[in-house]
C-alpha cells in the first residue's frame, strides 16, 4: 500500500487547524500536507510536527490574493516580483519545517489572454523558483487542476505539465499528480500512472473520490486498483513518495467524521501483502 499523508486543510474540519496534527497522528498518519502555513509562525508548526512524530511532506507557495480569487502567480505577466517574494517566503518555511517539496500554483488565465501567450512568463518564473529551491534541496511541484473546481486555471492536463517541465529543464521540477483532477479532466488514470511515474517527474500524488471530492471509496473511481498500480510501478522504478489524502470528509464537520471515514485506508492496509 502507498504511504498516505493527511491533508490538514481538508481533513478534520471540526478541529482548529493546529489540533489537526494530533488527530492525524492518532489515526495512524506519519505525514501531513496542507495548503498554506503562513498564518502561523514556522516554529509553532514545527513543534506540532515534532510533538506528534509527523513529517511535513508538502505545502503551497503563496498564491497571490486567495480571498480575491487568485490561485497562483506563476503564469501572470507583471507579477514576477511578487512571485519571487512568495517563493523566498515558502522556502524559508520549507527549511524550518524540513519539507522537501513546495507546490507552486500556476494561476488563472487573465481575461482575453490565451494560454500560449503566458507560457514564457510561466517557464521563466518556474526556472527561477527551481534554481532557488535547488539551493536547499527542495523540489518544486506543479499541479494540473480541473476547470470545474478552478475555472480558467492555466494548467489542467498531465501532458501539458510534463511538456512544460521539459521546457523548464530543471531536475527538481516535478508534477503533483492529483488523481481526482486527472479523472475529471482526462480519465485513463491507471495508464497515466504507468506512463508518467517511471519518468522520475512525479513528485507527489493526491487522491479523492470523484465527483464529490469525498473519501476515495465514495464515487466512481476504483482506488484499491489504482493503489496496486502505484505500488507496482513504484517498486519497478524505485519511487518512494507520498500520496496526499486531499478530500472533504463525507460526514462534513461532524466530530470524529474524518476518522470514521478512514475505513478505506484500513481496508487497503489489510489487502496489502
Of the pair 107, 261, the CB lying nearest ligand LASSHYVV is at 107
103 binds, among Mg ion, ligand LASSHYVV, none (CB under 5 to 8 A by kind): ligand LASSHYVV
Residue nearest to ligand LASSHYVV (CB): 178
Q: Which of 2, 6, 8, 60 binds ligand LASSHYVV (CB under 6 A)?
A: 60
Task: Note whether 258 and 11 are within 8 A (CB).
Answer: yes
Catalytic positions, written as ranges: 143, 246
CB of 176 to ligand LASSHYVV, least distance (A): 6
Binding string, residues 6-45; x marks residues near ligand LASSHYVV by CB under 6 A:
-----------------------------x----------
Instruction: Give the Å distances, CA to CA, from 58 to 99, 191, 272.
Output: 6, 25, 25
Task: Report the 10 Å Cβ neighbour count for 236.
Answer: 11
Task: Note whether 202 and 143 are within 8 A (CB).
Answer: no
Backbone torsion region of residue 138, taken as left when φ is above 0, otherwise alpha when ψ lies between -120 and 50, otherwise beta: beta
Residues whose CB is less than 8 angstroms from the CB of residue 273 and which lie 6 or more positions away in sequence, other chains included: none
Give the residues across from 244 on adjacent strands. 5, 206
Q: Which of 91, 130, 142, 143 binds ligand LASSHYVV (CB under 6 A)?
A: 143
Binding string, residues 235-264; x marks residues near ligand LASSHYVV by CB under 6 A:
-----------x------------------
Number of chain positions touching ligand LASSHYVV (CB under 6 A): 10
Number of chain positions touching Mg ion (CB under 5 A): 3
Q: What residues make contact with ligand LASSHYVV under the rule CB under 6 A?
A: 35, 60, 103, 105, 143, 145, 178, 181, 206, 246
Amino acid at each position: 500500500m502507498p504511504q498516505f499523508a493527511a491533508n490538514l486543510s481538508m481533513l478534520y474540519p471540526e478541529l482548529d487547524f493546529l489540533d489537526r496534527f494530533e488527530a492525524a497522528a492518532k489515526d495512524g498518519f506519519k505525514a501531513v500536507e496542507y495548503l498554506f502555513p503562513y498564518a502561523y509562525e514556522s516554529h509553532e508548526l514545527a513543534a506540532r510536527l515534532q510533538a506528534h512524530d509527523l513529517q511535513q511532506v508538502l505545502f503551497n507557495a503563496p498564491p497571490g490574493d486567495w480571498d480575491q480569487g487568485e490561485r497562483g502567480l506563476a503564469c501572470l505577466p507583471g507579477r514576477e516580483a511578487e512571485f519571487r517574494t512568495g517563493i523566498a517566503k515558502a522556502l524559508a518555511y520549507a527549511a524550518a519545517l524540513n519539507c522537501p517539496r513546495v507546490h507552486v500554483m500556476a494561476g488563472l488565465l487573465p481575461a482575453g489572454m490565451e494560454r500560449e501567450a503566458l507560457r514564457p512568463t510561466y517557464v521563466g518564473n518556474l526556472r527561477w523558483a527551481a534554481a532557488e529551491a535547488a539551493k536547499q534541496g527542495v523540489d518544486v511541484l506543479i499541479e494540473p487542476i480541473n476547470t470545474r473546481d478552478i475555472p480558467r486555471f492555466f494548467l489542467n492536463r498531465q501532458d501539458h505539465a510534463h511538456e512544460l517541465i521539459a521546457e523548464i529543464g530543471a531536475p527538481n521540477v516535478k508534477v503533483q499528480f492529483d488523481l481526482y483532477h486527472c479523472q475529471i479532466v482526462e480519465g485513463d488514470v491507471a495508464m497515466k500512472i504507468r506512463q508518467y511515474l517511471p519518468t522520475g517527474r512525479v513528485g507527489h500524488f493526491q487522491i479523492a473520490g470523484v465527483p464529490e471530492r469525498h473519501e476515495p471509496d465514495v464515487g466512481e473511481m476504483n482506488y484499491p486498483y489504482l493503489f496496486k498500480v502505484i505500488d507496482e510501478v513504484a517498486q519497478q522504478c524505485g519511487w518512494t513518495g507520498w500520496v496526499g489524502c486531499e478530500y472533504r470528509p463525507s460526514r462534513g464537520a461532524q466530530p470524529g467524521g474524518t476518522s470514521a471515514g478512514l475505513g478505506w485506508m484500513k481496508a487497503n492496509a489489510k489487502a496489502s501483502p
